[in-house]
Chain A
Amino acid sequence: MSRTKGDEEEYWNSSKFKAFTFDDEDDELSQLKESKRAVNSLRDFVDDDDDDDLERVSWSGEPVGRRTRLGSFQSLSDALSDTPAKSYAPELGRPKGEYKDYSNDWSISDTVRRLRKGKVCSLERFRSLQDKLQLLEEAVSVHDGNVITAVLIFLKRTLSKEILFRELELRQVALRHLIHFLKEIGDQKLLVDLFRFLDRTEELALSHYREHLNIQDPEKRKEFLKTCIGLPFSAEDSAHVQDHYTLLERQIIIEANDRHLELAGQTEIFRKHPRKASILNMPLVTTLFYSCFYHYTEAEGTFSSPVNLKKTFKIPDKQYVLTALAARAKLRAWHDVDALFTTKNWLGYTKKRAPIGFHRVVEILHKNSAPVQILQEYVNLVEDVDTKLNLATKFKCHDVVIDTCRDLKDRQQLLAYRSKVDKGSAEEEKIDAFLSSSQIRWKN
C-alpha cells in the first residue's frame, strides 16, 4: 500500500484516528486541533472588529484545569482553547478559510487582535527581526498596554539586549512601556543598562539612587550611598548626593556615641532631656537642631558639634542662627540666645544683629515661653515700627508699646492702651507721665 506523503499526513493528522506517535507534542496537538475545530464552529460574533475599534468588556475566562507544560510563561501560548462566554449560533456563510489552525496561519494583525481579547496566541513563529518589529508596531498602534507588554516580554526573551535597545530607541511608546514594565517587575539591572544605552545618564543615576530607600540597615545604606557618588547626576544633585552620604556617615557616629552616653547615665543633658528618637536618616536641619540641643558647646573638632556641621555642609548663617535659637530657646538658655546676636565691632562695642528679622526671633522666643523681660528686649530690636507695635501689643510688652507710642507721637493710641495696663502699676504711671508731658508734640 503506497500512499502519497500528503495522504499520510492527512491520515495521521485527521481526528478520526487517535494518533500513536512518539512525539508527545503532536499527540496533544491533534487532540486539540479537533476541539479547536469544534470551538471555532461557535465563532464569537464579537469578532467584527474592523468597524468598531473597541476594547470590549471581555468575559472570556480560562477553562478549569488548564494544561501547561511550559515552565515559565512564554507568550500566552499555554491555555490552548478559548471558551466564549456567550455562545452564539454558528454563523453560517462564513467562508471556511476563516477557521484557521491555531498555530500557523494567523497574520500579525490577527495575532494582535487575539491578544487584545486576552485570547491565546503563540508568538514563537515570528522568527525574523522584521516580523518581530512589525508585531511590535502593530501592538503599539492598537494602544493596548497589555498587548504591548506581552510582545515586549517576547522580544526581551528572543532578542539580544543591544538589538532590543537599538530598536526601541526609535519607538518612544514601546520604550516607555518597557521602562514601566522593568520598573514594575524590579529588573533594576536591565533598566540601568537601558538608561546607559540611551545616554539618559541622569535618569540612570536617579534610578540607582532611588534604591537606597529600600535599604533599612544604616551601615548598608551608607555603603550604598557611597556607590552613588560618582554617578552622572547634574552638578547640583551630585553635591546633594555627596552631602547625603556624608550626613549619614556622621549620623551613624553621633548616634553610636550618644547612645553610649545615654546608657552610661553620666551626662546631664541626656538625663534631663532623654532622646525621643534616633538621629539616623533625619534631614540636615533636624540634625543641626539636635546638635545645638545636645552638643552646643563642643569644639569644632568633633563630628557632633554644631560648628562642624555648619562648616561641613556650608549651612548659611540665616539657617544656622534660626536653628540654634530654636534649640537654645527650648532649653531656656537665654544667655546663649543673647550671645547668638551679640557681636563686638572693632571699637569694642557690642551690638545686636540678626541675619533673620528680629520679629522671627520674638516669635520663636514666645513659642518657648520666654519671660517677658527677654521678649521685650528683642521686640525692641524689631526695625519696622508697625510690626514692633503689633508684636509688643500681642505679647504684652507694655514698656515697648508705651515708648513706641511716644516715639510715634500717637496720643490716641497711648490713651487707648492705658486701659490695658494694671491700675496703679508702674506702666500706668509712665503713661500718665508721658501724657502730661509738655515736651512731646503729640500729633493727635
Chain B
Amino acid sequence: MAAHLSYGRVNLNVLREAVRRELREFLDKCAGSKAIVWDEYLTGPFGLIAQYSLLKEHEVEKMFTLKGSRLPAADVKNIIFFVRPRLELMDIIAENVLSEDRRGPARDFHLLFVPRRSLLCEQRLKDLGVLGSFIHREEYSLDLIPFDGDLLSMESEGAFKQVANMMIRMKREFTGSQNSIFPIFDNLLLLDRNVDLLTPLATQLTYEGLIDEIYGIQNSYVKLPPEKFAPKKQGDGGKDLPTEAKKLQLNSAEELYAEIRDKNFNAVGSVLSKKAKVISAAFEERHNAKTVGEIKQFVSQLPHMQAARGSLANHTSIAELIKDVTTSEDFFDKLTVEQEFMSGIDTDKVNSYIEDCIARKHPLIKVLRLICLQSVCNSGLKQKVLDYYKREILQTYGYEHILTLHNLEKAGLLKPQTGGRNNYPTIRKTLRLWMDDVNEQNPTDISYVYSGHAPLSVRLAQLLSRPGWRSIEEVLRMLPGPHFEERQPLPTGLQKKRQPGENRVTLIFFLGGVTFAEIAALRFLSQLEDGGTEYVIATTKLMNGASWLESLMEKPF
C-alpha cells in the first residue's frame, strides 16, 4: 500500500491495486522461474506500481536491460520482454531471440507490450521471423499511474479516445470496490494543452516547479548534485566526497515536502527556518524529561523527530541549490523578459535579451522558450521579426533547425501573425491572467505560482466552478478548439448525498501535459475556504517547457 495515495478525497490506491493485480496475473501465467528483460524507459513508471519484492514473489529471479546480441545466461524457465510498442525495440528483441543458445536448456519467450500492443510492431516481429516464438504475447494497460493522492499521469502520448476509455475503466475499478454505484467525481473537465500554450513556456516559480525546471523530476524522483548531501562527520577533512548523484523521492508521504512543494519559492525559506526551530526545540526536550515515563515518551518520538530532521536537512540543501540559480543575474534577466511579455510589454519587436542569448550561444531550448513565449503573447510574430529570429538561430545553431522551427510552427508555438490582430491582451484582461499585486507569502490568487501570471488552464477551471462559463462566452470563442458541456443525469437514488460543507469533486484531465505549477494552482483552489470544488488531476504527461520543446526538436544523427 502506498500511503501517500490514500490522502486525497479519492483513494487512488484502489487503482494501483488493480494494476498490480493484473501484473501478478500475467506473471503467474508464465509459470515457473523467470527473468524479465526491461525496456529501460519503463523501469521508472513501473517503480511507482511495484517493487522488486512483488516480482520476486512471482518467481522473477533475474532482471536484465534490453540490449542487442545475445541474452545473458540465466537458469530460468521463462524470459519475458517488457517493452513499449516501438519498432526499434522489436529489432533488438528479434536479435535476442535469434541468437539464443540452442545448446543450453530451452527457455520460453513471452512478450508484454506496455501500454498496448501495436500492429506495426507485430508485423516487424513477423518479418524478422520471430513472432511465433512468443508463447504469451499480450498488452498491459499501464495507462494511468497514480503519482500522489490527487495526481495521475499516463507518462505517454494518449489520444482522446484512450482517455475516455480510461475514465470508464477507472469507474469500473472504483465501483467494483464499493457497494452502490455512487459517482466518484461530480464533474469531469477535459482540457487540451492547445487551449493554453503559454503557461508551460514560462519558468515555474513554485518549489516543486523549480526543482523540475532545474533538475528534472522523473517518476517522482530527482537526481541532485551530491556535494551538499554528504553527511558531515566530525573530524573528517572533507575527504571522500560522493561522486554519484543524490537521488530523492518526492511525494506527499513526506510531511515537510507536502507543506512546501506548492509554495512560491520565496515563501519557502521562512517555513524551513520555523521548522528548524520547532525541531531543535523538540530535541531539547530531552533535558526536560525527568521521569522514566517522560524519557520513554521522548525515546518513542525519536524516530519521527529524526526523520523530520533528515527531511529538513535535505530540503534546506535543495533550497540552497535553487537559490544559487534564482539569485543569479541571468535568471533575473530571463524572468524580467518573461514577465514583460506576459504583461504585454514590447511583444512585437525583436528583444535584445533574446538576441544576446543567441549571440552568447546559450542553450537553444532556452532561446526557443523565450521566442515562443513572445509569439504566443503576441498571437504570432510579425513576419520581419520572425524572419530575423529564424536567421539568427539557423546561423548560430545550424541549418538543420529549419525542421525544428517548422515543428514549432505546426504546434502553434512560433508562427507568423495572421490578420494583424493580437487578441491575447483581450484574453488576458478578461480572464485576469496578469496580476500586478502578488502576495507570494500568503497568496490570494492562483497567479502566485508564476509571481504574476495566472495559468489560463486553471483560470478556466476556476471559472467553470464559479460562476460558470456563460460569463466568458466571448473569450472562450477566441481560444482554439470547440468547447462543450454535457450533463449526465443521475437517477435520484444514486445522487451523491453531500454532507453540509462538503465540496464537489472535479476530475480535471489535461490532454497534452501539465506542469507542476498548474497542479499547485489547482491544489490552491481545492483548499480555498469557499471554493466549493476539490480537484483530482490527471494528465497524459507531467512536463515543463524544456521537456516539451525537446520533443519538438530535430536531432542530428
Contact B159 A145 (CB under 8 A): yes
Bound complex: CA A230 to CA B162 (Å): 42
**A322 & B22 in contact (Cβ 8 Å cutoff):** no
Contact pattern, A 30-63, Cβ under 8 Å of B = 1, otherwise 0: 0000000000000000000000101101111110
Nearest residue, chain B, Cβ from A245: B399
Stretch of B130-138, B425-433, B452-460 that contacts chain A? B130-138
* Neighbouring A residues of B140 by C-beta, 8 Å: 57
| Residue A150 CB within 8 A of the other chain | yes
A315 adjacent to B395 (CB under 8 Å):
yes
Cα(A184)–Cα(B86), bound, Å: 9
The yes or no answer to B120 lying at the interface (CB within 8 A) is: yes
Decide: B402 and A181 in contact? CB cutoff 8 A: no
Selected from A52, A206, A243, A247, the residue in CB contact (under 8 A) with B406 is A206
B315 at the interface (CB under 8 A from A): no
User: Are B399 and A243 touching (Cβ within 8 A)?
Assistant: yes
Residues of chain B in range 379-419 having any CB-CB distance to chain A below 8 Å: 387, 390-392, 394-400, 402-403, 406
Inter-chain contact B554/A213, CB cutoff 8 Å: yes
B301 at the interface (CB under 8 A from A): no
B161 at the interface (CB under 8 A from A): yes
Do the beta carbons of A283 and B117 come within 8 Å of each other?
no
Residues 155-181 (chain B) with a chain A CB within 8 angstroms: 159-162, 165, 168-169
Residue in B closest to A60 when the chains form the complex, CB atoms:
B138
**Please, which residues of chain B bring their CB within 8 A of the CB of A213?**
400, 554-557
Instruction: Kindly state whether residue B527 has any CB partner on chain A within 8 Å.
Output: no
Report the separation of the CA atoms of residues A73 and B398 in the bound assembly, to the nearest whole angstrom. 42
Q: How far is the CA of A97 from the CA of B120 in the complex (A)?
A: 34
A60 surroundings in chain B (CB, below 8 A):
138
A144-B161, A210-B403, A213-B557 given as contacts; is B136 within 8 A of A184 (CB)? no
Tell me the bound Cα distance from A243 to B390 in angstroms: 14
Least CB separation from B405: chain A residue = A237
Say yes or no: is B119 at the interface (Cβ < 8 Å to chain A).
Answer: yes
Interface residues of A in 129-154 (CB under 8 A from B): 142-146, 149-150, 153
Bound-complex Cα distance A123 to B356 (A): 60
**Which residue of chain A has its CB nearest to the CB of B555?**
A213
Do residues A57 and B141 form an inter-chain contact, with CB atoms below 8 A?
yes
Binary B-proximity of A206-224 (CB < 8 A = 1, otherwise 0): 1001101100100000000
A274 part of interface (Cβ distance < 8 Å): no
**Do B399 and A247 touch across chains, with their CB atoms under 8 A apart?**
yes
B135 touches A61 (CB 8 A): yes
Is there an interface contact between A58 and B137, defined as CB atoms closer than 8 Å?
no
B residues less than 8 Å from A54 (CB atoms): 165, 168-169
Interfacial chain B residues near A65, Cβ < 8 Å: 132
Which B residues are CB-close (under 8 A) to A55?
116, 161-162, 165
List residues of chain B with CB within 8 A of the CB of A73: 123, 126-127
**A410 and B116 alpha carbons, distance in the complex (Å):** 73
A118's contact among B117, B406, B557, by CB below 8 Å, is which? B117
Check A209/B120 contact, CB under 8 A, given A54-B169, A61-B136, A283-B395: no
Known: A59-B138, A143-B160, A184-B120. A319 touches B395 (CB 8 A): yes
Is A66's CB within 8 Å of the partner chain B? Answer: yes
Q: Does A277 contact B (CB under 8 A)?
A: no
**Majority SS of interface residues in chain B?**
helix
Docked complex Cα distance between A126 and B126 (Å)? 24
Q: Note all chain B residues with C-beta closer than 8 A to A360.
A: 356, 359
Asked if B138 and A241 make an inter-chain contact with CB atoms under 8 angstroms apart, the answer reads: no
Residues of A within 8 Å of B391, CB to CB, are 240
A152 to chain B, nearest CB (A): 10
Please give me the residue from chain B that is nearest to A216 by CB atom. B557
- Check A185 against B132 for contact (C-beta < 8 Å): no
From A59, A149, A284, contact of B395 by CB (8 A)? A284
Contact indicator A181/B132 (Cβ below 8 Å): no
Residues 57-109 (chain B) with a chain A CB within 8 angstroms: 87
The reply to whether B400 and A185 contact each other, CB–CB distance below 8 Å, is no
> Chain A residues near B359 (CB, 8 Å)?
319, 322, 360
A57 touches B139 (CB 8 A): yes
Expressed in whole angstroms, the Cα–Cα distance for A240 and B131 within the complex equals 46
Decide if B117 touches A146 in the complex (CB within 8 Å). Answer: yes
Contact B159 A52 (CB under 8 A): no
Q: How many residues of A contact B (CB 8 A)?
A: 51
Quote the shortest CB–CB distance from B174 to chain A (angstroms). Answer: 15
Q: Give the distance in Å from the alpha carbon of A146 to the alpha carbon of B118 in the complex.
A: 6
Tell which of A59, A143, A285, A313 touches B159, judged by Cβ atoms closer than 8 Å.
A143
Contact of B139 among A58, A62, A244 (CB under 8 A): A58
A175 → chain B closest CB, angstroms: 15
Cβ distance A368 to chain B, nearest Cβ, rounded Å:
14
- Nearest neighbor of A67 in chain B, beta-carbon distance: B132
Contact string, A242-274, partner B, CB cutoff 8 A, digits 1/0?
Answer: 011001000000000000000000000000000
Highest count of chain B CB atoms <10 Å: which of A72, A181, A184: A184
A192 to chain B, nearest CB (A): 16
Min Cβ gap B291→A in Å is 60
Complex: A313 Cα to B131 Cα, angstroms? 54
User: What residues of chain A lie closer than 8 Å to B161, measured between beta carbons?
Assistant: 55, 142-144
Write the A321-350 contact mask toward B (1 if CB under 8 angstroms, else 0): 010000000000000000000000000000
A283 and B160 CA atoms in complex are apart in Å by 40
For residue A170, which residues in chain B have a CB less than 8 angstroms away from its CB? Answer: none
Chain B residues within an 8 Å CB radius of A184: 87, 120
**In the complex, what distance in Å separates the CA atom of A212 from the CA atom of B557?**
9
A386 touches B (CB below 8 Å): no
Chain A residues with Cβ below 8 Å from B137 are 61-62
Known A-B contacts A73-B126, A241-B399, A285-B395; the reply to A210 vs B119 at CB < 8 A is: no
Report how far A64 CA is from B137 CA in the complex, Å: 10
Q: Chain A contacts of B165 at CB under 8 A?
A: 54-55
State A240–B391 Cα separation when bound (angstroms). Answer: 8
Most buried by A among B127, B162, B395: B395
B418 CB, nearest partner CB in chain A, Å: 15
Residue numbers in B under 8 Å from A216 (CB-CB): 557
Q: A59 to B139: give the CA distance in the assembly, Å.
A: 7
Please give, as numbers and ranges, the residues of chain B lying within 8 Å of A283 by CB-CB distance.
Answer: 394-399
Interface of chain A residues 54 through 102 with chain B (CB within 8 A): 54-55, 57-62, 64-66, 68, 72-73, 76
Q: Once the chains bind, are B400 and A212 in contact (CB under 8 Å)? A: yes
* Cβ–Cβ contact B390 & A236, under 8 A: yes
In Å, the complex CA distance between A263 and B87 comes to 45
Give chain A residues whose Cβ lies under 8 Å from the Cβ of B394. Answer: 240, 243, 283-284
Contact of B403 with A209 in the complex, beta carbons under 8 Å: yes
Q: Which residues of the other chain, B, contact A59 by a CB distance below 8 angstroms?
A: 26, 138
CA gap between A184 and B399 in the complex, in Å? 24
Complex Cα spacing A285 to B117, Å: 46
**Cβ contacts under 8 Å, B120 to chain A:** 149, 181, 184-185
B93 vs chain A, min Cβ distance (A)? 16
Find chain A residues with CB under 8 A from B87 CB.
184-185
B400: chain A residues within 8 A (beta carbon)? 212-213, 244
Residues B139 and A236 in contact, CB atoms below 8 Å apart: no
Option from A66, A76, A244 in Cβ contact (under 8 Å) with B399: A244
Q: Give, as a whole number of angstroms, the nearest-CB distance from A39 to chain B.
A: 18
B residues within 8 A CB of A236? 387, 390
Shortest CB distance B194–A (Å): 16
- Within A163-214, the residues touching B (CB, 8 Å) are 181, 184-185, 206, 209-210, 212-213
Q: Which of A52, A144, A313, A322 contacts B168 (CB 8 A)?
A: A52
In angstroms, how far is the closest chain B Cβ from the Cβ of A143?
4
Report A-chain residues with C-beta under 8 Å of the C-beta of B396: 283-285
Q: Nearest residue in B to A118 (C-beta to C-beta)? A: B117
14 contacts between A and B (CB under 8 A): A54-B165, A57-B22, A60-B138, A62-B134, A73-B127, A143-B160, A145-B159, A184-B87, A209-B403, A237-B402, A240-B391, A241-B402, A284-B395, A319-B392
Known: A73-B127, A284-B396. 13 other contacts (CB 8 A): A61-B135, A62-B134, A73-B123, A118-B117, A142-B161, A149-B119, A210-B554, A213-B556, A240-B399, A244-B399, A247-B399, A284-B394, A284-B395
Q: Which 3 A-B pairs have the closest CB atoms?
A: A143-B161, A244-B399, A283-B398
